[in-house]
Structure 1
Amino acid sequence: MDYVAEGPFKSISILYRKSHIWLNNNCASYDLSAAQAVVILIICDYRSLTQDDITKRLSLDKSVIAKTVNKLEERGYLVRTTNTKDKRTYDISPTEKAWEIYPFIKEQVEACFQRMTHTMTNQEREEFRRLLQLAAEASIALDEE
């Protein structure tokens, strides 16, 4: 029986929702939500970003990112320092606590990806990963035009 209605938008919506449910469940033991885990992941990946950079890279609302960053800073995962080029902007960097959980988050994100692609061959999985990256980059680039 085919449970997924035709169309890529419906499929993307299902994948987004399922991956967040899985990531929420897997990160619950650290009292982290999927959204918080993803912010820690991107901050560690880039070592330091401004709040605006995080917003652009994740394509989320500024207020959502602000609340998430504030909560993670309060909990000791992130630290803000004044940007040397623009004193009105803060650079957000990971703390040791974030670096300690970073490998776990990466493993959980990969586990979610493996779960959603478990019926694919390795070649199909890697092609799917490449195409997702390509579509995400193209979408972000449209915002910058």
Structure 2
Amino acid sequence: MEDESFGRYISVIYRHLHILLNNRLKPYEVGSGQYIFVSAIYNNPGISQKDLTELIKIDRATTAKALLKLETNGYIDRAQNKDDKRYNKLYLTKKGMDFIPILNNIQADLTNMLSQGMDSNEYSESIRLLKLIFNNVQNSVAQLKND
């Protein structure tokens, strides 16, 4: 094993990517902590807040805070679930739908920036290794919850 830590690089990449994302998202009043919710609701219209939390792998309080900001800024609507009135279904508004192509362009630009100097094989291998790291950390967290 190398002396260098995955955690150090992941942490620095995460922080710097948030700086870049926040800069690009600022004109739309969407923060780096909210864009993933917009994308997930777009891909899963009518999803409940509980299911969204599980899908994104973020805690309930963070989900609630992000959704409140997105709702306040006009990106999402909540509709009461007719089958179970305890839950709301989440949908993008017209403003939210209009934001999707912008968000996709921002994500593509950042992905291109992150992968500069890589060929397609290196890119695919990087994705494979990141998924492996993600699964390892996700399994460790799940095990903590079960202990």
Q: Same fold (TM over 0.5)?
A: yes
TM-score (normalised: structure 2) = 0.81
In the alignment, the residues of structure 2 paired with residue 102 and residue 128 of structure 1 have an alpha-carbon distance, to the nearest angstrom, of 26
| TM-score in terms of structure 1 length | 0.82
Structure 2, unaligned runs of 5 or more:
none
Residue 128 of structure 1 is matched in structure 2 by 126
Cα deviations by residue, 1:70-112 (Å, 9 ceiling, x for unpaired): 1111221101111233210111111111110111111212222
Flag the 1:66–1:101 CA change in 2: closer, same or farther, 3 A.
same
Question: Which sections of structure 1, spanning at least 5 residues, go unmatched?
Answer: none
Amino acid at match of 1:41: S
Superposed displacement of residue 127, structure 1: 2.8
Give the distance between the partners of 1:133 and 1:26, measured in 2 at CA.
26
C-alpha spacing 1:49/1:134, structure 2 compared with 1 (3 Å): farther
Given residue 16 of structure 1, which amino acid in structure 2 is its aligned partner?
Answer: Y
Q: Per the alignment, in what secondary structure is the counterpart of residue 4 of structure 2?
A: coil
After TM superposition, list the pairs within 5 Å mapping 1:1-145 onto structure 2.
6-133=4-131, 135-136=133-134, 139=138, 143=142
Opposite residue 48 of structure 2, the aligned amino acid is: T
Q: Is the 8 A contact 1:24 1:34 kept in 2?
A: yes
Question: Number of residue pairs matched?
Answer: 141
Which amino acid in the other structure matches residue 34 of structure 1? S
CA root-mean-square deviation: 2.4
Q: Distance in 2 between matches of 1:131 and 1:84?
A: 43
How far, CA to CA, are the matches of 1:18 and 1:108 in structure 2?
A: 15
Structure 1 ranges of 4+ moved more than 6 A: none
